[in-house]
Structure 1
Amino acid sequence: MARKQYHFPVTDSPFWLHVEMQVQKWGAITLLFIVVAGLCGLFSQGWLSAQTASSSDRKLTVQYDRYGRLQSDIDMQVTASATLNSRTVFTLGGDFMHDFEIRTLQPQPEKMYSQNGELVLEYARPHADQPFTVWLGLTPRGVGRSEQKIVLNGATTVAVKQFIWP
């Protein structure tokens, strides 16, 4: 009885088999790196993203995420230190009005208005001798780098830089 020989339409090439093996190996390593970076906060909230910026005189502190994703919520806390002033005015300028939409704002200000492309929040402080914090829930409007300038009572300034991923 004669053995039947089969002819396969594709011949194996050792070179391309080696290339495929290398692509799979390096692709798996790259994918693992991307997953770990995402879990650590490189693309949104997490350890790599959490940032705190303070003014030189420590009267104003901003806690925010350096990295965010388009149409995902970003939290920001703006804290004014204890002062003798009974009124506190926060001015959110730079790219703030153009790049973000405010979803939540706590506590609600007594006055809130836009002036020269900046958002102004005015508060009467019940306890001027204690720190005062405003919590903002923001949603990015676009992708890319955003630079905001947050000013306390027209004098103390903190610069905030963020990057929004698609």
Structure 2
Amino acid sequence: MKPDAEHPDLKSRQFPVQEDMAYQLKVWRFEHVGWYLLVLCMVLGLLGLFSRGVLSSQDARSDDGKVQVEYEMFHRNGSTNPLKLSVHATPEATVELDIGGELLDGFSIETMQPAPVRMRSSAQGMRLWLQADAQGQATLYLTLRGDGLGLFRSHIRAPGSSEVRLTQFIYP
């Protein structure tokens, strides 16, 4: 609804206080835009733009479906978030899993359940050996603590499988 410029309340006055109503109307419009932006930020925050939620939760798979990763895309520095790795393999076999990229630069691994059969780290990342169950499923649950700031790109793959790429952002 556009205000009527002829309305007496919208005309500038000198008495009892000097007013500039054209400027006041601009200020009110600016306040309204600010309120809309504030509501938009609140809704995006509730949806998970700044941490856990619908916008943050990701489910990535390798092209062949052998490796699946469930993780949070948005983190806060110092907070912990879960990461679930699932690998399909031969029943009762030991499965290799490579974690590389910037994951270990931006995050500390707080917990790893169940403990891998074996693990080895290098400058390129970390290699884990997991025990598959009778159905050929090996699942590893990690708790990551965000230690860095900014964008971190990582990849996870099992030998003989295509890699799964992760993109995560850590807010201050």
Q: Do both proteins adopt the same fold according to a TM-score greater than 0.5, normalized to the shorter chain?
A: yes
1:91 equivalenced with 2:98 (yes/no): yes
Give percent identity, aligned residues only. 31
Letter in 1 for 2:33: W
Question: How many Å apart are 1:128 and its aligned residue?
Answer: 4.5
Q: CA-to-partner distance for each residue in 1:49-74, whole Å, 9 max, x for gaps?
A: 11111111111000111222222212
Contact 2:130–2:138 (CA under 8 A) maintained in structure 1:
no
Which residue of structure 2 lines up, in the alignment, with residue 17 of structure 1?
24
Shift of residue 15, structure 1, vs aligned partner: 2.7
Question: What's 1:148 paired with?
Answer: 154
Query: Hey, what does 2:7 align to over in structure 1?
Result: none
Gaps of 5+ in 1: 1-6
Contact 1:100 1:139 in 2 (8 A): yes
2:167 aligned with 1:165: no
Q: CA deviation at 1:85?
A: 6.1
1:139 to 130, 138, 145: 145
Pick which of 153-162 and 60-69 moved more. Answer: 153-162
Question: When the two structures are superposed, what TM-score results if normalisation uses the length of structure 1?
Answer: 0.85
- Calculate the aligned-residue CA RMSD, in Å: 2.2
> CA 1:124–1:133 in 2, change beyond 3 Å: closer, same or farther?
closer
Deviations 1:85-114, CA, capped at 9 Å, x for gaps = 611122110001111111111111122221
Alignment of 1:55-134 (within 5 A): 55-84=62-91, 86-125=93-132, 127-134=133-140
44, 50, 53: which is aligned to 1:46?
Answer: 53
- The gaps in structure 2 that reach 5 residues or longer are 1-13
C-alpha distance in structure 2 between counterparts of 1:153 and 1:15, whole Å: 69
Cα distance in 2 for partners of 1:67, 1:97 equals 16
CA distance in 2, matches of 1:19, 1:111: 66
- 1:165 and 1:143 map into 2 onto residues whose CA distance is 6
Partners of 1:91 and 1:154 within 8 A in 2: no
Which residue in the other structure is 2:8 paired with? none
Q: Which residue is 1:3 aligned to?
A: none
